[in-house]
Amino acid sequence: MQRCCPPAVGDTAERTNEAAIFKALGDAHRLTILATLSRAEDEVCVCDLGSALPLNQPAVSHHLKILRDDGLVICERRGTWVYYRLALTQKTALSVHYAP
Amino acid sequence: MQRCCPPAVGDTAERTNEAAIFKALGDAHRLTILATLSRAEDEVCVCDLGSALPLNQPAVSHHLKILRDDGLVICERRGTWVYYRLALTQKTALSVHYAP
DNA sequence: CGCTAGTATCGAAATATGTCAATGCAACGA
DNA sequence: TCGTTGCATTGACATATTTCGATACTAGCG
């Protein structure tokens, strides 16, 4: 396989993982959730997250699951309520630089 | 409207714009395109961008249009070929910090 | 058990992705 | 000039994924 330019850095699987994170961020409602969590000094319960969005509870829960599955937020149940907070991992740092 | 937590920063329109950029990055093929452009010292023509992807030309063109519409790349036609390069604007800096 | 908070599942509408065909655009040769 | 060739984009369509509401379900409390 002959090419004029060097092949792209990183394999496809790695790039797919990166894309999944960006995809999770590619929704205005989820950005609102993350912004709310970031502004909150402490964790925020689901009902408060939902009250800032024009969605009903199942839809909010759906978006939260996406953020959970991508490791962007973590949740903890205490009694009746579930509290969310940002998962401050490398992923959320998001200092993206192409190419590495 | 009464809430326990402060409202999210930024209005919906602004957040929608941000989401559009993340959505553009939320695809492994488009990340490959951006990585290739970033690695290339100079611009890269469409045929070379396409040869690094398991897609045919129309699909590549489609992805390039998404990146163009979001202001992430710019293109220039010279003769028969069209050359792409990164649009090094604020958008591509992508030093994301929530909340601002 | 009843009640509330949150999640999971299902289905419909909207959107995204990729392929094929058709169109533009520029270079080249008769 | 005209037709041909090759690169790139656009449009139409089929398929896949996403989004969100309605409903059903689970967990915890009194």
CA of B80 to C1' of D4 (A): 15
Q: What is the ipTM of this complex?
A: 0.84
Nearest residue in chain A measured CA to CA from B11: A32
A28-93 to CATH, choices 1.10.150.120, 1.10.10.10, 1.10.3720.10, 3.40.50.880: 1.10.10.10
Residue A14, Cα to own-chain centre: how many angstroms?
Answer: 17
Mean pLDDT of A16-37: 94
Mean pLDDT of A11-32: 91
- Chain B contacts in chain A segment 31-60 (CB below 8 A): 31-32, 34-36, 38-40, 44, 48, 51-52
**Is A19 within 8 Å of B10 when comparing Cβ atoms?**
no
Which residue ranges make up each domain of chain B? Answer: 12-93
Residue range B12-93, CATH number: 1.10.10.10
Instruction: Starting at the earlier edge strand, list the strands of the sheet with A81-86.
Output: A44-45, A81-86, A73-78
Task: Please report, in tens digits, the pLDDT of each residue of chain B (100 residues total).
Answer: 334 445 555 667 788 889 999 999 999 999 999 999 988 878 999 999 999 999 999 999 999 999 999 999 999 999 999 999 999 765 555 433 333 3
More confident residue, B81 or A92: B81
Strand partners, A7: none
Given a contact cutoff of 8 angstroms between Cβ atoms, the answer to whether B50 and B60 are in contact is yes
Q: In the predicted model, what is the mean pLDDT of chain A? A: 83
Query: Is A14 an interface residue toward B (CB < 8 Å)?
Result: no
Nearest residue in chain A measured CA to CA from B13: A28
CA closest to C1' of D22 belongs to: A58
